[in-house]
């Protein structure tokens, strides 16, 4: 059958103007007319508009994402599916992905962040993997910006509210405050799941005649045009008015969905399964059919509705949460229905797979949409947008120059350790259940989180990082530095970096300098990922992060997952035994560029030093070997705040009060050495007798024995710093709560 | 004055809590139960000369703090006490 | 002895309780489904932590009406051992199998952390493996753990020794700082007046393996096992 | 019928939410704010022949589910619709 679809009573007339109102360019609209060889119906136009939106089609980034290394000996599944997977041994695969929910979280912080967590979790269990860990990467405006407190409270509340209630521990993350995000915060949510290799699910429809099942919450008007308008247009007063019905998350239903879907998968009656994320029913149905090179027919009248009188247009575009679409093996519907009923969920047959390659929607017996599947799922336009490096070596950030009277090292240390970007984020992660499921060997607080894999000796380490300051100075080197930090954090836990997922947060790609930032960022990610043999198995691109024409700093967020063959050999960042030697391992002398010190006190040095990826790789390999051979007792990566802060943090062992006595030599008293943040430095502690072999392991890197762990409970650096560890820890812990309480 | 504020999930916005209570009431065997909405009931004692002033104050309180304009509606009653 | 761990919709730490009992302690433990009425011959029933029914309305208010709760109430009336952890504690209070109620934390925010509790009555089936006054380091993770009860009830509970666990500092003292959620009299765990039903906010099942941060939780389960011998 | 149920923290039982709201209102600069109590507002649509029957039903709902007698008081209004 292919009667031209009918217009519905009340449908507006469709033309280029209407298309523009839907965010489609005249060129895109012409293409649609060409594909269909007629004007689309209002319903079809709606579907094209969301499916061809930046958010769903990646039309600005797709061409460039192809350069990322996505394959590798340990990669399973991967491109095409919802997320890739990494073989972590003993028949287990890890599925992980990170996704942005920036704009929704700015509009409605609690629900925006909560539904961000819900969405990424569905991406994981739709693959047949049980979600076992979450991470969150958060960027807010400057701490004193009037909206920051409200947004921080709402976002953290939402992430905890959802994650805690579905029973997935939030084990790591990051928080940064920077004026660059005053009008456009970033909320990137990461989830990781484990599956037996043979249980991995596909989102590729098969078998014409197979029924299509709808499971989960009923459909309401939630977030209609959320994807296309919110995530694909700059955020301004106008889009405020277009604000869709806010999506409200229902973590309880999500928990039922997780259990029911994983149980349903075990029956073997599921052919393909996909969550209804952005562009809801439209994307899930067309993508599953598209992957299978088949067609699909939906009877919208059968879709469970939350309110009466939704139109086909609304049903297809709704982004109501906690919904899944399943292609079942014909004749086994009842079997599946029974599983869902057990969990008080209802599986409803709303359509079937066809072999005619059409994506067709019926409403009251009439065809209201009928387009080639590929047209919406694959053939969205791909743009090669012009790019242009801004003048002045690409620096988009203006940093103050060195302040006239730089503070004493001790004063600088106290100031930096108490600045919100460096200080403890306990106030945040204390609100997250980091223990549920009983795998958390190391939760929030050390460089990376460490999870054990039950019924095996193996473990995973994970951390998410970003470095917008460095990316603002140089989007290419900044992206490399970010990957290096993520890898370092994981290696400091003793794990071998195994795979990457990334979220690329940038401004308006229609501006050549932003497009340039994006592409340079992807190139940096590519080069670093290749250097570490860490394929990029999944990711997400968030563009148009701008307010009133001001773009956020380029922010590629990198989540690294590493593996431990023996989780008992993991490392934490804390010194353990008085008398141990303290060493630093360095790939290059550190600089103040893009440092917290520069932000607080200014610095001349505003050019990132080049990064030698071979040496970075050596540092990672060395750390992993040290952990594996049990040669060192702690390892801590030097990041925000520099070496002095890293030394202090290494003293903050929750179990025992320790100190450090360090000598850096006269050359080591410069702000560069004490507070510089890049390139890579790691602080390790080890039994004296192991120091010699450590030097060998890290050749050709610079390894310097700088001191001893002491019982004194003081941090001493030559004669320039002599601070009480407990006092420093108090500054570190109280900074954020303190500043939040003083109103 | 005593002001009573009634905050309810906006029409069309998902109310998981209401749905849960609805389900529970039904399974408890209550007949004829239709939709259930769960909101907040906030009682504010405020010392103002006139009802009118109390009303203006409370409206501001609701817009700024007591209700979430994205997902909730509110109404209030001022009764002198 | 046989253990039964009840799984409600929204239970989260059910699997962790089962893991602690079976894998770590080698016990004979089974998962029980909230829609069933059978307790499968369990000698001790565990109501696990989590967000049963999303904690909607009030924590535990809806789960309390699950079919299996009839059997649990009967089992308790017959003297059977019941332990409710976190959400399980809330369910027991809502079901009136334990006195008092659990309200929003004083801070109004969810708290996940390791804390100290002091064993104030070591003569019970749930604490006999511990010394009176012994301090256990256990994790808490809840948003509504603030224990409240009418003053007269409290007085009576204290008299009868129904308060088994209190939040304390490292020195074993009840202080405001050491009270994570504002519970009356720093109460972390209480038993009924027959001492066969016990509810606590901390998670002993999450403190049974050194590698995961401590093993003090074993004391609670060992007490129950000891009593059964 | 539409029934409105008002659940409030029992007098004497601490109401952290109420105190928090009270604090924020004051720090927002609202004058004359006294005590604030935060409770639940539950709207139940119920199909019964008479108001009286609705009332009996709702009373049971409150006693069994909607309110916790240990810490909360409730009252309700039935308005025909
Ligand atoms: N939003 C968050 N959620 C969970 N954990 C967090 C969050 N922010 C920071 N943390 C934790 O606090 C510690 C310090 O974070 P961060 O400064 O980003 O570490 P690093 O500098 O090593 O990358 C880490 O253990 C991290 O996981
Ligand atoms: Mg680090």
Query: pLDDT for A401-411, tens place per residue?
Result: 555 568 999 99
pLDDT value for A227 = 43
pLDDT value for A403 = 57
Using alpha carbons only, give the angle A77, A80, A81 rounded to the nearest 5 degrees: 60
Name the CA dihedral angle for C107, C112, C115, C118, rounded to a multiple of 10 degrees: 80
Banded pLDDT at A1 (limits 50, 70, 90): very low
Give the pLDDT mean for D1-15.
Answer: 90
Tokens of D21: 């709201």
pTM: 0.94
Kindly identify which residue of chain C lies nearest to residue B23, measuring between CA atoms: C62
pLDDT value for A13 = 87
First to last CA, chain D: 5
Give the pLDDT mean for A43-66.
Answer: 91
pLDDT value for A639 = 94
pLDDT digits (tens, 9 = 90+) for A184-234: 999 999 999 999 999 999 888 889 999 999 999 999 888 886 444 444 445
pLDDT digits (tens, 9 = 90+) for A488-517: 999 999 999 999 999 999 999 999 999 999
- Answer whether C122's CB lies under 8 Å from C134's CB: yes
> C-alpha A518: how far from its chain's center?
16
pLDDT value for A395 = 47
Q: Compute CA distances A375 → A49, A293, A370, A393, B67, whole Å.
A: 12, 12, 11, 41, 44
Per DSSP, which regions of A486-633 are E strands? 496-505, 536-542, 546-547, 550-551, 555-564, 581-586
A40: left (phi over 0), alpha (psi -120 to 50) or beta: beta
Looking at every residue in chain B, the average pLDDT score rounds to 93
Q: Is a pLDDT exceeding 90 seen at residue A577?
A: yes
Closest CA to C101 of C58, C63, C135, C134: C58
Q: Quote the ipTM score.
A: 0.94
pLDDT digits (tens, 9 = 90+) for A361-418: 999 999 999 999 989 888 888 899 999 998 764 444 455 555 556 899 999 999 999 9
Query: Which is more confident, A438 or B10?
Result: A438
pLDDT value for B81 = 58
Name the CA dihedral angle for C19, C22, C28, C34, rounded to a multiple of 10 degrees: 0
Q: Is a pLDDT exceeding 90 seen at residue A82?
A: no
Q: Compute CA distances C164 → A71, C82, C94, C215, whole Å.
A: 56, 15, 19, 19
Please give the Cα distance from A680 to A667 (Å, whole number). 18
Banded pLDDT at C227 (limits 50, 70, 90): confident
First to last CA, chain A: 67
Give the pLDDT mean for A544-571.
Answer: 96
Torsion sign (Cα): A710, A711, A713, A718: negative
> What b/e sequence results for A30-52 when a residue is b if at least 16 CB atoms lie within 10 Å of its CB, and e otherwise?
ebbeebbeebbbbbbbbbbbbbb
First to last CA, chain C: 8
First to last CA, chain B: 5
Contacts of A621 (CB under 8 A, 6+ apart): none
Element (DSSP H or E) covering residue C16: helix C14-19
In sequence order, what DSSP letters do the residues of A267-319 get, joined into one string?
TT-EEEEEE--TTHHHHHHHHHHHHTT-EEEEEGGGS-BSSS---HHHHHH--
pLDDT value for A241 = 42
Percent of chain D at pLDDT above 70? 98
The β-bridge relationship of strands A536-542 and A634-637 is: unpaired
A377: left (phi over 0), alpha (psi -120 to 50) or beta: alpha
Catalytic residue at A55? yes
Banded pLDDT at D70 (limits 50, 70, 90): confident
Rounded to the nearest angstrom, the distance between the alpha carbon of A492 and the centre of ligand 2 is 8
Atom of ligand 1 nearest to the CA of A492: 22
Tell me which of C59, C86, C93, C146 is the catalytic residue: C86
Question: Based on the number of CB atoms within 10 Å of its own CB, is A689 exposed (0-12), middle (13-18) or buried (19 or more)?
Answer: exposed
Please give the Cα distance from C18 to C215 (Å, whole number). 16
Rounded to the nearest angstrom, the distance between the alpha carbon of A174 and the centre of ligand 1 is 4
Residue with CA nearest ligand 1 atom 13: A445
pLDDT digits (tens, 9 = 90+) for C47-94: 999 999 999 999 999 999 999 999 999 999 999 999 999 999 999 999
Q: Is a pLDDT exceeding 50 seen at residue C28?
A: yes
Please give the Cα distance from A466 to A486 (Å, whole number). 8
pLDDT value for A396 = 47
pLDDT value for A79 = 59
Q: Compute CA distances B24 → A256, B6, D66, whole Å.
A: 16, 23, 10
Which residues have any ligand 1 atom within 6 Å of their CB? A 136, 138, 170, 172-175, 425, 428-429, 432, 444-447, 463, 465, 489, 637, 639-640
Atom of ligand 1 nearest to the CA of A422: 17
Tell me which of C19, C142, C203, C206 is the catalytic residue: C203
pLDDT value for A391 = 76
CB-nearest to C58 from D14, D20, D68 is D68
Please give the Cα distance from C114 to A584 (Å, whole number). 32
Name the CA dihedral angle for C179, C184, C188, C190, rounded to a multiple of 10 degrees: 170
To test the ligand 1 pocket, which listed residue (A425, A493, A623) has its Cβ within 8 A of the most ligand atoms? A425
pLDDT value for B19 = 93
Please give the Cα distance from A643 to A645 (Å, whole number). 5
- Answer whether C204's CB lies under 8 Å from C176's CB: no
pLDDT digits (tens, 9 = 90+) for C134-165: 999 999 999 999 999 999 999 999 999 999 99
DSSP state of A446: B
Q: Is a pLDDT exceeding 50 seen at residue A239?
A: no
pLDDT value for A12 = 87
Measure A123 CA to nearest chain C CA, in Å. 20
pLDDT digits (tens, 9 = 90+) for C36-60: 999 999 999 999 999 999 999 999 9
- Other CB atoms within a 10 A radius of the CB of residue A200 amount to 17
Rounded to the nearest angstrom, the distance between the alpha carbon of A151 and the centre of ligand 1 is 18
Q: Is a pLDDT exceeding 90 seen at residue A616?
A: yes
Looking at every residue in chain A, the average pLDDT score rounds to 92
Q: Tell me the ligand closest to A117's alpha carbon.
A: 1
Tell me which of A22, A34, A64, A101 is the catalytic residue: A101
């Amino acid at each position: 059958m292919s009667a031209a679809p009918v217009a519905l009573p009340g449908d507006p007339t469709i033309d280029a103007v209407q298309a523009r109102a839907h965010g489609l360019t005249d060129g895109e609209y012409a293409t649609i007319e060409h594909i269909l060889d007629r004007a689309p119906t209002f319903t079809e136009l709606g579907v094209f508009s969301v499916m061809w939106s930046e958010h769903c089609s990646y039309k600005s980034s797709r061409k460039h994402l192809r350069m990322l290394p996505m394959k590798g000996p340990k990669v399973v599944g991967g491109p095409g599916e919802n997320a890739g997977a990494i073989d972590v041994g003993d028949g287990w695969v890890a599925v992980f992905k990170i996704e942005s929910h920036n704009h929704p979280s700015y509009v409605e912080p609690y629900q925006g962040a909560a539904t961000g967590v819900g969405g990424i979790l569905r991406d994981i269990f739709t693959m047949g993997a049980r979600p076992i860990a979450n991470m969150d990467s958060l960027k807010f405006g400057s701490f004193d910006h009037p909206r920051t407190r409200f947004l921080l409270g709402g976002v953290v509340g939402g992430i905890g509210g959802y994650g805690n209630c579905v029973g997935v521990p939030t084990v790591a993350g990051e928080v940064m405050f920077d004026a660059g995000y005053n009008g456009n915060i970033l909320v990137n949510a990461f989830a990781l799941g484990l599956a037996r290799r043979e249980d991995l699910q596909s989102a590729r429809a098969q078998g014409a005649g197979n029924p299509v099942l709808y499971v989960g919450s009923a459909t309401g008007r939630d977030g209609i045009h959320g994807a296309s308008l919110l995530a694909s247009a700059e955020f301004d007063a106008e889009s405020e008015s277009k604000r869709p019905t806010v999506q409200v998350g229902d973590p309880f239903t999500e928990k039922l969905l997780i259990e029911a879907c994983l149980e349903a998968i075990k029956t073997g009656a599921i052919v393909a399964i996909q969550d209804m994320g952005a562009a809801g029913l439209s994307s899930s149905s067309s993508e599953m059919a598209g992957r299978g090179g088949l067609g699909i027919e939906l009877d919208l009248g059968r879709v469970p509705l939350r309110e009466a009188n939704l139109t086909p247009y609304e049903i297809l575009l709704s982004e109501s949460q906690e919904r899944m679409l399943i292609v079942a093996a014909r004749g086994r519907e009842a079997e599946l229905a029974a599983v869902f009923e057990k969990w008080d969920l209802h599986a409803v047959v709303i359509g079937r797979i066809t072999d005619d390659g059409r994506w067709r929607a019926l409403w009251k017996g009439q065809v209201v949409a009928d387009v080639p599947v590929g047209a919406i799922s694959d053939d969205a336009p791909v743009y090669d947008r012009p790019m242009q490096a801004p003048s002045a070596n690409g620096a988009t950030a203006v940093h103050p120059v060195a302040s006239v009277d730089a503070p004493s090292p001790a004063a600088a240390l106290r100031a930096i350790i108490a600045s919100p970007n460096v200080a403890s984020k306990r106030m945040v992660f204390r609100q997250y259940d980091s223990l549920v499921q009983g795998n958390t060997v190391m939760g929030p607080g050390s460089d990376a989180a460490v999870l054990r894999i039950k019924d095996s000796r193996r473990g995973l380490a994970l951390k998410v990082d970003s470095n917008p300051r460095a990316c603002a100075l140089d989007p290419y080197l900044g992206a490399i530095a970010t990957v290096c930090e993520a890898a370092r954090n994981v290696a400091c836990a003793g794990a071998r970096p195994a795979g990457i997922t990334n979220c690329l947060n940038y401004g308006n790609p229609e501006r050549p300098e932003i497009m340039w930032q994006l592409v340079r960022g992807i190139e940096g990610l590519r080069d670093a990922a290749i250097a570490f043999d860490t394929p990029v198995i999944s990711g997400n691109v968030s563009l148009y992060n701008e307010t009133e024409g001001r773009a956020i700093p380029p922010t590629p967020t990198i989540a690294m997952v590493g593996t431990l063959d023996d989780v008992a050999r993991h490392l934490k960042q804390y010194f353990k035994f008085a008398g141990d030697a303290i060493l630093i391992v360095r790939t290059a002398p550190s600089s103040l560029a893009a440092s917290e010190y520069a932000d607080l006190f200014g610095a001349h040095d505003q050019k990132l030093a080049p990064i030698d990826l071979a040496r970075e790789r050596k540092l990672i390999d060395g750390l992993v070997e040290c952990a594996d051979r049990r040669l060192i007792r702690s390892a801590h990566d030097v990041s925000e705040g520099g070496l002095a802060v890293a030394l202090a943090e290494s003293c903050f062992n929750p179990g025992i009060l320790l100190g450090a006595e360090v000598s850096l030599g006269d050359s080591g008293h410069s702000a560069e050495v004490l507070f510089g943040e890049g390139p890579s430095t790691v602080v390790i502690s080890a039994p004296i007798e192991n120091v010699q072999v450590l030097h060998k392991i890290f050749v050709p890197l610079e390894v310097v024995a700088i001191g001893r762990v002491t019982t004194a409970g003081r941090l001493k650096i030559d004669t320039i710093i002599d601070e009480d560890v407990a006092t420093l820890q108090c500054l570190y812990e109280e900074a954020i709560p303190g500043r939040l309480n003083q109103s | 004055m005593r002001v009573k504020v009634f905050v309810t999930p906006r029409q069309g916005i998902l109310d998981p809590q209401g749905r849960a209570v609805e389900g529970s009431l039904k399974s408890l065997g209550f007949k004829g139960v239709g939709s259930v909405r769960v909101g907040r009931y906030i009682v504010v004692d405020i010392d103002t000369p006139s009802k009118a002033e109390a009303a203006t104050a409370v409206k501001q309180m609701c817009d700024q703090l007591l209700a979430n304009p994205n997902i909730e509606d509110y109404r209030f009653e001022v009764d002198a006490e | 002895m046989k253990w039964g761990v009840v799984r409600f919709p929204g239970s989260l730490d059910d699997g962790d309780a089962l893991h602690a009992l079976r894998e770590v302690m080698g016990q004979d433990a089974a998962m029980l489904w909230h829609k069933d009425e059978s307790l499968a011959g369990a000698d001790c029933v565990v109501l696990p932590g989590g967000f049963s029914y999303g904690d909607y309305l009030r924590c535990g208010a809806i789960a309390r009406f699950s079919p299996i709760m009839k059997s649990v109430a009967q089992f308790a009336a017959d003297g059977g051992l019941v332990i409710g952890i976190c959400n399980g504690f809330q369910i027991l209070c809502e079901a009136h199998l334990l006195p008092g109620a659990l309200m929003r934390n004083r801070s109004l925010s969810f708290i996940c952390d390791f804390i100290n509790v002091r064993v104030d009555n070591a003569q019970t089936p749930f604490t006999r493996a511990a010394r009176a006054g012994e301090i256990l380091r256990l994790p808490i993770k809840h948003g509504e753990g603030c224990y409240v009860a009418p003053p007269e009830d409290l007085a009576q509970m204290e008299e009868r020794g129904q308060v088994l666990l209190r939040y304390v500092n490292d020195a074993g003292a009840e202080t405001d700082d050491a009270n994570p959620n504002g519970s009356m009299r720093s109460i972390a765990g209480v038993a009924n007046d027959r001492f066969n039903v016990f509810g606590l906010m901390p998670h002993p099942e999450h403190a049974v393996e050194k590698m995961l941060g401590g093993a003090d939780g074993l004391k609670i389960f060992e007490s129950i096992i000891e009593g059964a011998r």
